[in-house]
Amino acid sequence: MSQTTQESTPFSSPFVRPSVLSNRPTAPSRGLSVCRGLSFWVAATLICSAVSAQEPSPEVPQGEEAWIEIDKLRARSQVRLAVEPAKIAPELTGDYRQAAAEIEQTLREDLEQMILFNVQGPTELSVLVLTGNRDQDFDQYRSLGNEVVLLTEIKREDDRLTLDGWVYDLPSRQSILGKRYRGTLDQARLVAHHMADAIHWQFSNRPSLTLTTLAFQSDRDGHQELYLMDYDGRNQRRISGHKSTSGYGSWSPTNDAIAYMSYFSGAPGIYYVDLASGNKIPIYREGTLNLSPSFSPDGKKLAFASSQGSNVDIYTCERACQTPVRLTTSRAIDTNPAWSPDGSKIAFTSSRSGRPNIYVMDLNGSNIRRISFEGNYNEGASWSPDGSRLTYASRTGNKGIFRVVVTSMVDLQTQVLTGGAGSQEEPTFSPDGTKIAYTLRQGKGSQIWVMDANGSNPRQLTHQGNSSGPAWSAFPPK
C-alpha cells in the first residue's frame, strides 16, 4: 500500500513566547493505523482495511523547542498563527489541482480546530498587501496581531504531491519548523493531517487529534453496522457487513482491533475486527446476551456485560476468551464496563440502588463505590485519559432527555456540559482529553456530535441515516 513520506528541513532557533512553560526536545513522529457502552435498558432487548503512514523520526533541530501544556492552555493565551494560502505549482491541473486544494483546506481546518492556535486564514489576511519581501510581509502579519506564520508550497513529483511547510517566528524572523510530506492523490487529507500534527508537536510536545479515528454504528446502508471516520467527521466508511445489528465498539490501545457487539449469530455476541486484515473474529457468544465490550489498557483483556442466566453482570476475559471471570454478583443489571486508563479499576452502570447509576470497582470486583449522585438515571461512563474524570449521560426529569455530564473522581463534583433540544448520550473522551464526542437524539433520529471538553463549540460530525455510539481511538503508535 502506498505511504506518505516525510522529510525534515533545517531550521534555526525556535519561537519562544511568554506562555512557554519549558523547553523540550523534539518528539518522534508516529505511524498511522486507522481504523464503547450500550444504552442501559436496551440491554434486555438489544436489539478494515487499515491505512498506514510511516514516517522517519525527524531530525533534532539546533537549539531548543518551545512547548505549551495543553491542559492549561485555556488559562493562557493562544498562539496567534497566520496561515497564508498555499503556493500551488501552476502546472498542477485536474485531479492534482483538486487534491492540492484539499490539502490546503484540510491543513487550515486542522489548525483551526486545535485549541493551541488562534488562526487567521486567507479571509482575515486578505486586507494585507504583500510584496514578496519577507521582512516587510512579516511586519504586515504582525500588524494583525500574529506571532507566527505558516507558509506552504504544494507541487508534484512523479505521481505524488509534495507539501512543504515552514513556520516562522514573526518577531525574530527565525524559522521554527520545516517539514515535507509526500503522498498519492487519495492521501491528500492524510498528508495535511501529518503536517498539522507536526506543527502541533512543535508547540506542545504532544500529538494532535488529526491522526485519530472515531468508530460508530449507523444504519445508513439498511442494517446497523460498524463504521469509522476521521476525527473531523470526514472519510466515513463501513467496516462490518454482518447485515445484522452490530456496533458499540471499543478500540484496542494500539488501534489494531475494535471489539464490538453483533447479532450476527442470533443472540448478541462479542466480536472483534482485526483492522489489518479486516477479519471479524468471535470472542464470546455463550448465554443469551453479551454486549458493551471494553479493552483493557494493555490490550490483553476485555470487560463486557453478559447474561449467563437471568441476570446481566460484568465479566472479564483474555482476548481469546475461553473462561470469563464474573466480577459482579448483585441481582441488579450491571452493564457498560469501562476500564480506567491505569488498568486498576472498571467503571460500570448498575441499577443496584434502584435506578441506573455509575459505579467503580477494583479489578477483582471488590471495593464497589457509587460515583453518580445527581439525576435519576445515569449511564455509560467514559474515562478521561488521565483518569481524573468520568463523563456519562445523566437524566434529571422523566421525559427521556439526557445531558452529558462530567464528574471529578477526586471530590465527585458534577458539571453539566450540554443542553438545548434533544437528548445527548453516549459520551466518549478524545485521547488528549480536550474533546468529547456524543450522540444527539432528536425525535426518531440520532447523529454524532463533538464538543470541547468544557461543553463549548458543539459540531455535528455525521448526517446520514441514524448514527450513534462514538468511540475514540488512541493516538497512533509512535
Domain annotation for the chain: domains and CATH numbers: 5-13+63-204 (3.40.50.10070), 212-472 (2.120.10.30)
What cell was used for 427? 459520551
Q: Are 369 and 325 in contact (CB under 8 A)?
A: no
Listed in order, strand segments (DSSP E) in 233-275 are 237-238, 246-251, 257-262, 269-274
Q: Dihedrals φ, ψ of 209, to 5°?
A: -85, -5
Query: What do you get for the CA distance between the two ends of the chain, in Å?
Result: 19
| Whether residue 116 has pLDDT greater than 80 | yes
Say what the alpha-carbon torsion angle 169, 170, 172, 174 is, to the nearest 10 degrees. Answer: 40
Residues 178-193 have a mean pLDDT of: 97
What is the largest distance, in Å, between two alpha-carbon atoms of the chain? 77
Q: Are 424 and 180 in contact (CB under 8 A)?
A: no
- The pTM of the full predicted model, rounded to 2 decimals, is 0.84
Q: Dihedrals φ, ψ of 277, to 5°?
A: -100, -20
Torsion 139-142-148-154 (CA) sign: negative
| Whether residue 66 has pLDDT greater than 60 | no
Q: What percent of the chain has pLDDT over 90?
A: 78
Return the pLDDT at 308. 82
Which of 400-416 are b and which e, b meaning 16 or more Cβ less than 10 Å from the residue's Cβ? eebbbbbbebeeeebee
Q: CA-to-CA distance for 352 and 368, rounded, in angstroms?
A: 11
Return the pLDDT at 48. 27
Q: Are 382 and 391 in contact (CB under 8 A)?
A: yes
Residue pointed to by grid coordinates 471529578:
408
What cell was used for 463? 448526517
pLDDT in tens, 225-246: 999 999 999 999 999 999 989 9
Tell me what the pLDDT averaged over the chain comes to: 85
What cell was used for 230? 476521521
Return the pLDDT at 77. 76
Categorize the per-residue pLDDT at 429 as very low, low, confident or very high, splitting at 50, 70 and 90. very high
Q: Are 424 and 418 in contact (CB under 8 A)?
A: yes
